[in-house]
Structure 1
Amino acid sequence: MSEVLEHKSRTNMTYNIPNLAFSSREFLRMIESFGLSGNWGWHFARNEYIWSSGMYKLFGIEDGSVQPDYELFRSLVHPEDRAKLEDAGQILHEGILGNHTFRIVRPDGTMRMVLSRGDVYFTPDGAPAGAAGVVLDITNQQRAALAVRVHNDRQRAVFEHGMIVPWVWTGDGQALHAPGWCELTGIAPEDLQRDWHAPIEDRAAILQKFAEARERGEASSLDFAAKLADGNRVALRALMVPVSNGGGPVREWTGLTFPPTSATPEPKRQPLAPGNEQLVRGLHLRAARGLLDWTLSDLAEASKLSLSTIRRLEEDADGPLARSRHAVVQALRQAGIAFTIVEGTTLAVAKVA
C-alpha cells in the first residue's frame, strides 16, 4: 500500500522544466556553423565595422585575424563584380545599400557565388547612422541552376536538329516531361500529362502496346504515325526504358521519340588549336581527370603545378593563374586526352589512348 501511495505522489510532482528558448545570437551562431552565411554591422559615427564568425569563415579568413572594414570586403569581391557594389561614400553619406549577387575570391584563390542583403539605419533627422547586412553562399544553387539550363539547352538543340523528343513517363504511363512534343504536335502544355497521345494515329492500339511494355517492365520500341502542328503526318519511333531504384520496382519510364529514317549528319569537329587553351574550363578539366581516373594530386604532379593551382583552375579562377592552364592541358594531352571543337562552338573531351 505504501509503495502505491509513493508512486502516486511521484507522478503528481511538478518539475521545474528549464526554459528551452534560446537567444537570437545563439540561433544565428547555429546557422553560421554551416559555413554558408555571415553577417556584418557598421556604426558610422564610431567608424566601427564588425564581422560575425560566419563572415570570416565565408571569406576564408581566420576568425579575428584581421580588423574588417568595408574596403576589405570590397577587395575580396571578384574584380569584375566590384562595380555592382556601392562605394563607402554612397553608404556613409547617401544611405544607399542595395542587394547584390556577386563572386568572391578567397585568399586561397577559391571562388564562391554569394548573395548580399543589407539595410541602412537613419537618425530621426534622416542622416545615415549605420548599416547591417547578411551574406549567403549560393554557389551550389547557382551550379545546380546552371546545370539545369545547360541540360535544357542540350535537349532543345537535339530537338531542333532532328525532331528528337526526350520523354519521362510515370510508372503508370502519364507523361511528365517531353520538351518539344507540344511544339511539334500543337498540344497545349497544360494538356501534356493527360493527352500526350492525342496526335498519335491509331492511338488505342499504340497505347495498348505501351501498356503491355510497362507490364513486362522491360525496354521496348514502338513505331507509330502522328499528326504535326502544321497538319502534316510524320512517322516516329518511341524508345522506352524502365527506370528503377536499384533493381526494384519501376519508378518511371524514360526514352526518346524520333523519326526512324532521319539521317543525322556527322558534326563538324576540329582539334583545339594551340593558343586556345583558355577555352578549356574547370568542367573540362574535371571531365578529363574522370576519364583518366586521376586525382587532383595526379594532375598536379603530371603538370608540375601545385595542388592549389589545379584546384583553382577547376574552379575557373582567372587572372595570372590562367596562364597555368596551358601546362595542365599539355599534361592531359600527353596522357591521352583529346580536346576537340564540335560545330565551331562546343568543346568536347575524349580519351583517345
Structure 2
Amino acid sequence: MLQLEAHLGISDVLRLIEEKLGAGVWRCDAAGQMQWSRGFFRLLGLDPHAVSPSYTEIQRRIHPDDRGPTRGPSELMIDRTLLDGEFRIIRPNGALRWINCHTEVLLNSAGEPECILGIALDITAQRRLVQTLRSDAERYSALTQVVGGLLWIGSSDGRITALPNGEKTPEAHRLLGKGWADLLHEDEREAALRSWTASVETGRRYSVEHRLREPDNTYRWYHCTAVPVTNADGSIQEWMGLSIDVHQEKLSVQHAATSQLTGAQLRAARGILNWSVKQLAARTGISSAIIRRLEEYDDAPPMSDETTEILRRVFSDAGIEFLFPSVGEPAVRPRR
C-alpha cells in the first residue's frame, strides 16, 4: 500500500472514487467555512463556477421533508447528525436524488476539533431497488391473505418448508416436511408422488387432485398445483404451491353421474361450446326436434337412460362438466 501511495496523488484517488462510485467530499472548518470537491458539486447538480460552497446551499437542496432543524454551519462540529445519514436532494433541474452522507470530526494536534469531513454517495439506484423489493414483499403479503387456499413452499426432495398463510389453517402444520405424503389417501398416494417426481425432473407444473386425511380421520379432496421458482441460471431454487379445498365440488361432480340433466344445463352446455341444435344432433344421433323439446324444460325433462348417457358422454368428450351442488341450482362449467 505504501508503494501504491508513492505512485498515486490524493487528487487522482479522489477523482477515481468520485467518478466510479458517484461520490462527493466536503469539508467544514470550525468557523463554518466549507469546501466541496468536484464530485460533491456534481451530486448536487451545481456548477462550481457559479455557486460558492456553503451549508446554506446544501440545506436549500435538501428535500423539505428531510431537512433537520435550522442551525448554523458552525454547529456541524457539535451535531454531526445535521448532515449525516440518508436524505433526498432536489437538483436545480428538479431531479430527485437520494444521498447517503457519512461524517467524521478531525482533531488538531491539541486534540481539539479542527474540521468535519463528509463523504456523500448517490444511492438513488439502491433506494429504487429497495422500494421495488418492498412493494413486491407487500404484494406477496397481501396475496397470502386473500388467496383462496393454502400456500406452501417446497423443496425438490418433496419437503414442504414453509406455509406463508398457514395461520389461516392451524392444522396445516401437519403438512410440513413430508407430512403431506403420509396424509395422502392410499388410492391417490402413488399417483401424486409419481406426478411430483415427474415435475421435479422436468420442471413442469405440478397439478393433481387428491384426498388428505383430516384431524378427525375423515378425508377431503384438494386440488394442488405448484410451479418452480428458478435461479438466474434456470436451476430450480424451490417450488411455490397452492392447495385448494375442492371437496364439495368433487362430490358434486361425482353426484352428477347419477343425477338427471336439466334442460337449463343442456342449453348452457351447448352455449359454452357454441354449438347449434343441429350440431348437437349430429354428434349425438338424437334428432333436433327431441333436443329442442328437452331444452324447453328448466328442470329435468323426461328422457330415457340411453339418451341421458349419450348426452353426458358427448358433452364430457367436449370438455363439459355437469355440477349438482347440495346447495343451489344444477350448473355447468368447462372441465379444468
TM-score by length of 1: 0.54
**Residue matched to 1:97:** 80
Assess, with a 3 A threshold, how the Cα gap between structure 1 residues 187 and 161 changes in structure 2: closer, same or farther: closer
Q: Choose which of 22, 30, 36 in structure 2 pairs with 1:51.
A: 36
- Judged with a 3 Å threshold, the aligned counterparts in structure 2 of structure 1 residues 259 and 138 are, in CA distance, closer, same or farther, namely same
Alignment of 1:1-12 (within 5 A): none
Q: CA deviation at 1:35?
A: 5.7
Checking the alignment, whether the CA contact within 8 Å between 1:163 and 1:259 is kept in structure 2 is yes
The answer as to whether partners of 1:35 and 1:58 remain within 8 angstroms in 2 is: no
Alignment-derived partner of residue 198 in structure 1: 179
Listed as ranges, the gaps of 5+ residues in structure 1 are 1-18, 264-353
1:139 equivalent in alignment to 2:139:
no
Larger CA Rg, structure 1 vs 2: 2
Q: Match for 2:16: what amino acid?
A: M
The code of the aligned residue for 2:146 comes to H
Match of 1:33 among 19, 27, 34: 19
Task: Tell me if the contact between 1:164 and 1:256 (Cα under 8 Å) persists in the aligned partners.
Answer: no
Once residues 109 and 135 of structure 1 are traced to their aligned partners in structure 2, the CA distance between those partners, rounded to angstroms, is 19
Amino acid paired to 2:209: D
Q: Where does 1:76-115 land on structure 2 (aligned, <5 Å)?
A: 76-83=61-68, 87-92=72-77, 95-98=78-81, 99-115=84-100
What's the offset of the Cα at 1:76? 0.6
Residue of structure 2 equivalent to 1:180: 165
Secondary structure at the aligned position of 1:108 is classed as coil
Task: Provide the residue aligned with 1:293 in structure 2.
Answer: none
* Counterparts of 1:232 and 1:110, CA distance in 2: 63
| C-alpha displacement of 1:41 | 0.8
Q: How many residues align?
A: 238
Aligned 8 A contact 2:86 2:100 in 1? yes
Structure 1 residues 277-316: aligned runs within 5 Å: none
Decide whether aligned partners of structure 1 residues 167 and 199 sit closer, same or farther in structure 2, where only a CA change above 3 A counts.
closer
SS at match of 2:20: coil
Give 3-state SS (helix, strand or coil) of 2:179's partner.
coil
Aligned counterparts of 2:110 and 2:247: Cα–Cα separation in 1: 74
Q: Which residue of 2 aligns with 1:210?
A: 196
CA distance in 1, matches of 2:61, 2:123: 16
Summarize the Cα distance change of 1:132–1:86 in structure 2 as closer, same or farther, 3 Å threshold. farther
**Take 1:231 and 1:84, find their aligned partners in 2: how far apart are those partners?**
66
Q: Is the 8 A contact 1:240 1:253 kept in 2?
A: no
The question of whether the paired residues in 1 share the 8 Å contact of 2:156 and 2:239 is answered with: no
Which is helix-richer, 1 or 2? 2
| Structure 2 segments unaligned to the other structure (5+ residues) | 249-336
- Equivalence for 2:260: none
Distance 1:75 1:196, change over 3 A: farther
Q: What residue is the counterpart of 1:324 in the other structure?
A: none
Q: CA deviation at 1:87?
A: 4.5
Distance 2:214 2:235 in 1: 31
Decide whether the 8 Å contact of 1:185 with 1:199 is kept in 2: no
Q: Taking structure 1 as reference, are residues 239 and 141 closer, same or farther at Cα in structure 2, changes over 3 Å only? A: same
Q: Deviations over 1:279-325 (max 9, x none)?
A: xxxxxxxxxxxxxxxxxxxxxxxxxxxxxxxxxxxxxxxxxxxxxxx
How far, CA to CA, are the matches of 2:70 and 2:170 in structure 1?
48
Judged with a 3 Å threshold, the aligned counterparts in structure 2 of structure 1 residues 136 and 250 are, in CA distance, closer, same or farther, namely closer
Structure 2 residue 135 is matched with structure 1 residue 161: no
